Structure 1
């Protein structure tokens, strides 16, 4: 009988067992190559079809949403309306009455009223044909933007157009239809600021007259320590209410875009 040390016997047994049971394992494919969320695509069937991944659509949508405030301010009647309403509050000297939320809400709804014909034409010319698959995105965007461009050019002074045309180092245009957006937008905003300040000046005149009259009366009565604003404020509010100031102001603002 031959005695084999236990350690050597265990090693021999382990080696024999391992050699008899262990089989080669195929290389494991990299997990990173197959992991992840599959990309969803939307395919437009047709000759000029394109594939848009879901991630690109989300990025494009977020970009458009971030540009909406700028579009609202720069391409609609909102700028003129909110500036004139702010001038009115300053002329009345009512400080925070009406509050900012009321002025912004009034300006937004009045903007929607003024811009409703433009929005309707933009929807009929560009958005609806694109949603009905009758027009590609490349053609729908200029068609939807054309009514906004026409609105801006109708409210823009020729001097402002000439100014930004000169700054852009472009040649004079044969017609207003040839004016590019990069010239029409700043010219429109500049013209809107001029118009809003002119309307604000006309609003200030009657209230300024009341302030001067009240201040003169107080000085003649020896009441120089009394603030004229305290005495003139009720008279200005009374004058504004008696002439139906809100109807006149809103009617004038809305009508100024149709002349």
Structure 2
């Protein structure tokens, strides 16, 4: 059951996110009833395009942007350029994202996608039910000021969004992403501080010894790696990032 959910959920969620551009009642045309061959071809092209963008759209509504940004800042704070590689950072971020988002995925599967696959629910209702857990998740993590600022850029939404009632998807998703990036930079600043102190101490010691030609970053790197390894940094940071969502 979970494997079917992991395959079908991104597709239906992509359709639900695209519903901000196309009205939900028009989704029933995806079956192509009583339309021309050209219409069917265009609908097939739209469905294939949505399937291609589904992973990206799914990532936008999860905690992945926050986690991967923090890990990238952590790598820069340690002073490593290519270790761990980008693929490994993304893989760890995806695993932690699945750990955090598993209750949301399960709720979307049980309330929307599973009844839809059993022909117990129309597509319009299934789209709304699938997106609802993600909407609740994003609303809990979105900064109200950022949400209001994004609403002010579009006429007709500023009167609804500040009350946090039910903002449009095209407003909620950008506000959520900006809020997550802002939170990631705040966490990254706190992570950077201990490594910056190590750099300053090493630079001061080298200056006092008259070794001005020795790069402080090169000498400080082993100390930062030892400090991070002794403190079990990956586990502590991962636990802290995940605990912020519960």
Q: Distance in 1 between matches of 2:193 and 2:96?
A: 24
Distance verdict in 2 for CA 1:59–1:76, change over 3 Å? same
Matched, 1:190 2:178: yes
Matched, 1:240 2:228: yes
Where do 5+ consecutive residues of structure 1 fail to align? 1-47
Deviation larger for 50-59 or 173-182: 50-59
Q: Distance in 1 between matches of 2:101 and 2:168?
A: 21
Q: Distance in 1 between matches of 2:179 and 2:172?
A: 10
Q: Distance in 2 between matches of 1:257 and 1:201?
A: 19
Q: Between Structure 1 and Structure 2, which shows a larger proportion of helix residues? A: 2
What are the superposed Cα offsets for residues 169-195 of structure 1, whole Å, 9 maximum, x if unpaired?
221348534221111111101101100
Contact 1:72 1:78 in 2 (8 A): no
Contact 1:73 1:79 in 2 (8 A): yes
Contact 1:152 1:184 in 2 (8 A): yes
Distance verdict in 2 for CA 1:51–1:257, change over 3 Å? closer
What are the superposed Cα offsets for residues 215-235 of structure 1, whole Å, 9 maximum, x if unpaired?
000000000000111111111
Task: Name the residue aligned to 2:86.
Answer: 100
* Residue 51 of structure 1, CA deviation: 4.6
TM-score, length basis structure 1: 0.76
Q: Distance in 1 between matches of 2:223 and 2:162?
A: 53
* Residue 64 of structure 1, CA deviation: 1.8
Q: Distance in 1 between matches of 2:153 and 2:111?
A: 32
1:121-160 alignment, distance < 5 Å: 121-160=107-146
* Residue 139 of structure 1, CA deviation: 1.2
> Which protein has the larger Cα radius of gyration, Structure 1 or Structure 2?
1
Q: 1:52 aligns with which of 26, 32, 49?
A: 32
Where do 5+ consecutive residues of structure 2 fail to align? 1-27, 34-39
Task: Name the residue aligned to 2:50.
Answer: 64
Number of equivalenced pairs: 211
Task: Name the residue aligned to 1:231.
Answer: 219
Q: 1:172 aligns with which of 150, 155, 160?
A: 160
Contact 1:76 1:115 in 2 (8 A): yes
Structure having greater relative contact order (Cα 8 Å, sep ≥ 6):
2
* Residue 128 of structure 1, CA deviation: 0.6
Task: Name the residue aligned to 1:22.
Answer: none
* Residue 92 of structure 1, CA deviation: 0.6
* Residue 67 of structure 1, CA deviation: 1.7
Matched, 1:201 2:181: no
Q: Distance in 2 between matches of 1:50 and 1:84?
A: 40
